[in-house]
Structure 1
Amino acid sequence: MSLNAAPATPDGVPNWTLHDPAANRFYQLSWAAFEILSRWPLGEAEAIAAVVNEETTLDVEAADVVALAQFLAEHHLTVAATPADTARLNEAAARRRLSLPKWLLNNYLFLRVPLVRPMPFLRRASPWIGFVYRPGFWWFTLGVAALGLYLVTRQWDSFAHTFRAYTSWQGLLGLGVALSFAKVLHELGHAFTAYRHGCRVPTMGIALLVLWPVLYTDTNEAWKLPSRRARLQIGAAGVLAELMLAAYATLLWNFLPDGPLRAGVFMLATSTWLVTLAINASPFTRFDGYYLLSDWLNVPNLHERTFALGRWWLRERLFGFGDAPPEPLPERHRRFLIGFALATWLYRFVLFLAIALLVFHFFFRALGLLLMAVEIGWFLVLPIARELAVWWRRRGELRWQRATVRTAILAGLLALVLLVPWQGAVRAPAVLGQALAQTVYTPRPARLRELAVREGGQVAAGALLAQLESPELDYQLKRAEQDAARLQWQVEQQPFDDELRALGPALRKRWETARATVAGYRAEQARLSLRAPFAGRVVDLDPTLHPGEWLKGGEALLGVVGGDGVKGNAFVGEAALPRLQPGQRVTFLASLPEQQDVHCTVSGIDRLNLAALDEASVASVYGGEIPSLRRPDGTLAPLESTFRVRFDGCDRKQALPRESDGRVAIAGESRSLLGRGVRWLGAIARREAGF
């Protein structure tokens, strides 16, 4: 083991770093711990404390010496020479042995696989890259970046469309090689800088981050450096290496011909360093940003210490236990670290939820659901449960005071919001129309031969609206009639012809089939005569329609509305469905402010998820509320589970001039927010598990 000077505390107290090379761990020792270790050969706690107090300005007690000895023993930093030491080591080894499920839980999120020992390579290559650490090189690189950006602006359109131009396998290969090269250079930046400052780099390899491979470099020896600037340089070297690469790639792109190499250089110039900054610069996870912030603040073990402060702050604000802070810090420094702890908890909460969803979608459904539950339980629920257990154990220390009164009031308000079924109305987008309304569609691709109505015209039930024609259908009908006539003649001649008699009953069956085919074609032809389903008024007629125009099958041609009164359809999500039933009151609020509210009653609920929206006004592609997309066939597909709720019996008796979109408030069954949330999660679990 080795003992090295460490940066002093903000108030000037010296620190030391103890390096355990066997475990490659570093321990920061205070001034008092260093003085105690310096007199360790005295062998007695009382003697060590007395000498330290006599020779320094410290005030050390024998209990401090015993506590340091226990710390060293617990971390296996002392020589095991007694049976008690052996038993302690065996117990520690047994604790470290994990069952396979626990090992997977602890390691599938982040697992390191060492691949190379880079020290020989670093020794040989380091003299050749010394120029990189000179200020002149970075001024030159800044000039290269400026020149490259200037040249890019002169052909910006070509630059902006580079990635789109290389989606072939050759282009994607170039992008992959460029990305790999950038990440290798990133890690070499850490390794060379650490070696330059005298640190040993024992391993480099691949870390599996939720089974996704990323490169890593072991630069733990940076902790032994007393210079904060040196540690900051090691932490920032990877990002700086990629920024340097991006500068030269930007300039090089301007001179390369189109091809995979240019696509790879484009990736280096635009994307790789942005991804690195977005991920590595974050101090909330243990990437480069964490170590940079830790060194800048001069706070080793930043997460552990800020989390301890965060837990202390939370307990004091909620319960006022009166505990001393985990460590004495200036008030401004403490507030920053507490805020950082809260931000880190929030970031990790979102991150672990995202990882859980990623794991769920990565594996097949049953295993994905199990792993997602384990992920949420292990990394989110368990830490919260541990903190709640601490609160429960200390319940005897609670006293009525300002903090506990405030907590009780807030807890009561939260319980009221979550547990009391105070909200019953279900609000959803809706469309209100005539009580009798039907859209007339073309039954098949056909040509418009005659348009017998006009917009706003009155029609009687069964009146002709439009006449379509289909030359293809006419040809098929003619062929079928000829086949049927020929088979009929053969059936009539069968008793008098030996060849026809040999066909037996099969001939008559063929004739019957031909007759059925003719009847089918004639029925299809009759459908080309579009007639009014009831007496009413023509609406939504395209004014550009004219005879001779070809129409697609299933195309809306016009609408017919009639009768008095109105009815409508609302579209609700899956979470609201259990709270609805026929007979509930509905209030329709139109989008147009001049239209009065309409009061109706739920008449029916479709329990099947809609495959397509037939009301375009509620779809997001037309400015509606329901997230949807347009399929190639023109139909509108909702992106979320959507169900139709029908309502009628409205208090408006006058006819509407046209359909009106808006929102409805349905007097649904009142349920608490917590109950609705639990049912919503249960519905998702059942749907995704396929139950």
Structure 2
Amino acid sequence: MHAGSLQADGSPSWVLHDPCANRFYQLGWASFEVLSRWSLGSVDVIVAAVNAETSLQLVPDDVEAVINFLSRHQLLMAVSAEQSHWLWQMHEANRPSRAMWLLKNYLFFRVPLVRPETLLNRLLPWCGWLFQTRFWWAMAGVLIFALAMVSRRWDEFTHTFSAYGGVSAAIGIGLSLSLAKVLHEMGHALTARHFGCRVPAMGVAFLVMVPVLYTDTNDAWKLPSRRQRLLIGGAGMLAELLLAIIATLLWCFLSDGPLRAGAFLLASTTWLATLAVNASPFMRFDGYFLLSDYLGLPNLHSRAFALARWQLRRWVLGLDDPEPEYFPQDRRRGLILFAWATWLYRLVLFLSIAFLVYHLFFKALGLLLLAVELGWFIIRPIVGELLIWWRRRAELHWQQATRRSAALFGMLLLLVVLPWQSDVSSPAVLGASQSQGLYAPAAAEVDKVWVREGQAVKAGQLLAHLRSPALAAQLDLAEARERALAWQASQQPFDIELQQQGPALQKQWQVAQEQVKSLRQQMVRLALVAPFAGRVVDSSEALQVGTMIAEGERLLDVVGPHGVKGEAFVDEAALAGLRQGQVAKFVADGGEHWAVSCRLGPIDRLNLTVLDQPLLASSYGGPIPTELREHGLALLSTTFRVRLEHCDGQAAPLREMAGVARLQGERHSMLGRMIRYLLAAVQREAGL
């Protein structure tokens, strides 16, 4: 038993260490006084001695509570066969089956690798300067100097990785990450040993099959000094910050290569990632233990969760349970908020891990592990709390809290179950019914331009003319060859040598004629003509006299004056309630135009794989998730096309507009929509 720090109410505490299980238990003043007189052997005698020798006033139930605590945690010596049998039964009951062990530990398990105490004892005399204040002031000076050096070469620093890559960068990254993580754990271990704590093991923990190093510093709980425990908890992050300072300085003097890449990574990225992960108090990483020691609240999570559950039962059920433990009002409120923040953080984290696990394995195993992850870490705690509520239903009474909860639950149930939703909002584009782009038929030079942006044109009007010297030269050669073959074909009946070629000569002449015809058609296409009456829009900057343009380059669009059409893109859940002919309203982004009323046209029943509307693609800032691949904009979610027709009679927009289509589908409930979506997702992913 070791002296502990003062508790929140100012009373002393002690730490009871169970070396067999390597567990630590915090004891209050009363428990300590009882254990100090354990040798008296009688409950009544212990109560009398404590009451006589201290200011405490205990009753036999207080001693019985201590006995029950010791028995429950297997801290009592068995002196009979019955007690030994009872301990064995507890051991067997607490030992999980292989299936349960695998279920709880496949996402996280530890593998001890070394017992580092011998190494730490040898290193500690050489590392005493690390724990001196003067050293850290010196490192602060080094940091200021290094930052001043880097600031003079800031552009070079921020573009370190763009200067080289490949194997050298990968080597630098691997070495720097390994060095940072080893020093992180050595920081914990050396600091713990410096303050006299045992470090029984260091090893590798596997988090979602990703290896991370760990150090067993549980012995720090026996330290009475909160400052020492805080230093042990923060030593890993301090070690990485120290490494980042040195790496920043080294970067200024290293030449390009793997070492400089590693120094850049240590100076700019590694320590930030460490802070982002380890400083979080919502999981049992360094930040949690730092906050726990700072507040003086061991088992911070479980105590905060108990308070939050107590408050939740008061709000929802009106249960008048006593507080799990007393805290001042401000601290109690803070712990409850911390518990809710932790639950929300873990919900997001566990959902992310669940879907990560699903994508890491093949589908059958992925679906199983996804269900296990969601069921064990998310659904099981919720169901467990609801079962407690159900078992305590006899304690409920019709009062303000229960009336409020019933009203809110009823409103929520109606909101979820009643089929009141009929509108479907989906990404959409709207444009002119007539719209055609004009492209360069060949690599050419702009010869003449007769129109400008927004100009009205008539059908067949000449818009621009291109000149292609290469195409003209090909045409001259083809015409010369065609004339030569035509003469030979006309002279074949009178020339013995030409007669020997037979029908092949006629075939060559026909091929030459087709080639001339094709080249003349290409020359004609160099004149850009309006396909219909309308306006010129989206003129290319390259459409200037004397500019060389590539084959297939888009030069301008011609938009018709009347008629509007559009396309909307919906998911699988919204598709079921849509019917051709239903009313739809298009609202442009930005609100620059009035809503346009349309009717639903043909509805695709086969989902798209590629999106042909860049305006809506997330790759270009749109709302539809896409990924740019070789064959185009690949869709990342199940998407169907719905055409919008018979829109309000109005002037056609000069350019396509992105917006939202409000579709009038069948009425459906939120619950029904969620169920259909989940079933469709399961069927799709399982290949059913």
Contact 2:449 2:544 in 1 (8 A): no
Q: Distance in 2 between matches of 1:516 and 1:83?
A: 109
**Which residue of the partner structure matches residue 244 of structure 2?**
246
CA-CA distance at 1:383 after TM superposition? 0.6
Gap change, CA 1:326 and 1:524, over 3 Å in 2:
farther
**Aligned residue among 299, 303, 306 for 2:304:** 306
Q: Distance in 1 between matches of 2:143 and 2:449?
A: 71
Gap change, CA 1:446 and 1:528, over 3 Å in 2:
farther
**Aligned residue among 257, 260, 265 for 2:258:** 260
CA-CA distance at 1:373 after TM superposition? 1.9
**Which residue of the partner structure matches residue 493 of structure 1?**
none
Q: Distance in 1 between matches of 2:515 and 2:36?
A: 104
**Which residue of the partner structure matches residue 274 of structure 2?**
276
**Which residue of the partner structure matches residue 154 of structure 1?**
152
Is 1:648 matched with 2:640? no
Is 1:293 matched with 2:291? yes
**Which residue of the partner structure matches residue 338 of structure 1?**
336
Q: For 1:407-486, what aligned pairs fall within 5 Å after superposition?
A: 407-439=405-437, 456-459=456-459
Q: For 1:71-82, what aligned pairs fall within 5 Å after superposition?
A: 71-82=69-80
**% identical aligned pairs:** 50
Contact 1:26 1:223 in 2 (8 A): yes
Q: Distance in 1 between matches of 2:426 and 2:221?
A: 58
Contact 1:445 1:550 in 2 (8 A): no
Q: Deviations over 1:142-167 (max 9, x none)?
A: 11111111111111122112233342
CA-CA distance at 1:291 after TM superposition? 0.9
SS of structure 2 residue aligned to 1:283:
coil
Contact 1:466 1:529 in 2 (8 A): no
Gap change, CA 1:456 and 1:101, over 3 Å in 2:
farther
Gap change, CA 1:539 and 1:606, over 3 Å in 2:
farther
**Which residue of the partner structure matches residue 492 of structure 1?**
none
Is 1:26 matched with 2:24? yes
**Aligned residue among 660, 676, 680 for 1:679:** 676
Q: Deviations over 1:460-518 (max 9, x none)?
A: 79x9999999969989x98xx99xx9xxx9xxxxxxxxxxxxxxxxxx9xx99xx9999
Contact 2:203 2:214 in 1 (8 A): yes
CA-CA distance at 1:688 after TM superposition? 3.3
Gap change, CA 1:36 and 1:584, over 3 Å in 2:
same
Gap change, CA 1:271 and 1:658, over 3 Å in 2:
closer
> One-letter code of the match for 1:579?
G
SS of structure 2 residue aligned to 1:600:
strand
Gap change, CA 1:612 and 1:465, over 3 Å in 2:
farther
RMSD value over aligned CA atoms?
4.1
SS of structure 2 residue aligned to 1:52:
helix
Contact 1:473 1:521 in 2 (8 A): no
**Which residue of the partner structure matches residue 188 of structure 1?**
186
264-273 or 546-555, larger mean C-alpha shift: 546-555
> One-letter code of the match for 1:38?
S
Count of aligned residue pairs for this structure pair:
670
Q: Distance in 2 between matches of 1:315 and 1:688?
A: 39
**Which residue of the partner structure matches residue 584 of structure 1?**
582
SS of structure 2 residue aligned to 1:424:
strand
Q: Distance in 2 between matches of 1:218 and 1:465?
A: 78
**Which residue of the partner structure matches residue 171 of structure 1?**
169
Q: Deviations over 1:543-590 (max 9, x none)?
A: 654899887676556556558543222233344222322121012234
CA-CA distance at 1:259 after TM superposition? 1.9
Contact 1:166 1:260 in 2 (8 A): no
> One-letter code of the match for 1:252?
L
Gap change, CA 1:447 and 1:612, over 3 Å in 2:
farther
Q: Distance in 1 between matches of 2:19 and 2:633?
A: 64
SS of structure 1 residue aligned to 2:127:
helix
**TM-score after normalising by structure 2:** 0.86
Gap change, CA 1:555 and 1:421, over 3 Å in 2:
farther
Q: Distance in 1 between matches of 2:512 and 2:365?
A: 52
**Aligned residue among 663, 668, 673 for 1:666:** 663
Gap change, CA 1:248 and 1:560, over 3 Å in 2:
closer
Q: Deviations over 1:607-648 (max 9, x none)?
A: 333344444443456664434465567x55555443321121
**Which residue of the partner structure matches residue 501 of structure 1?**
none
Contact 1:453 1:538 in 2 (8 A): no
CA-CA distance at 1:384 after TM superposition? 0.7
CA-CA distance at 1:19 after TM superposition? 0.7
Q: Deviations over 1:119-150 (max 9, x none)?
A: 11111111111111111111111111111111
Q: Deviations over 1:244-303 (max 9, x none)?
A: 222222222222222222222222222222111111111111111111111111111111
Q: Distance in 2 between matches of 1:241 and 1:657?
A: 62
**Aligned residue among 96, 118, 121 for 1:120:** 118
CA-CA distance at 1:82 after TM superposition? 1.9
**Which residue of the partner structure matches residue 493 of structure 2?**
none
Q: Distance in 1 between matches of 2:173 and 2:472?
A: 52
**Aligned residue among 81, 105, 108 for 2:106:** 108
**Which residue of the partner structure matches residue 368 of structure 2?**
370
> One-letter code of the match for 1:93?
H
Gap change, CA 1:379 and 1:526, over 3 Å in 2:
farther
Q: Deviations over 1:210-249 (max 9, x none)?
A: 1111111111111111111111111111111121222222
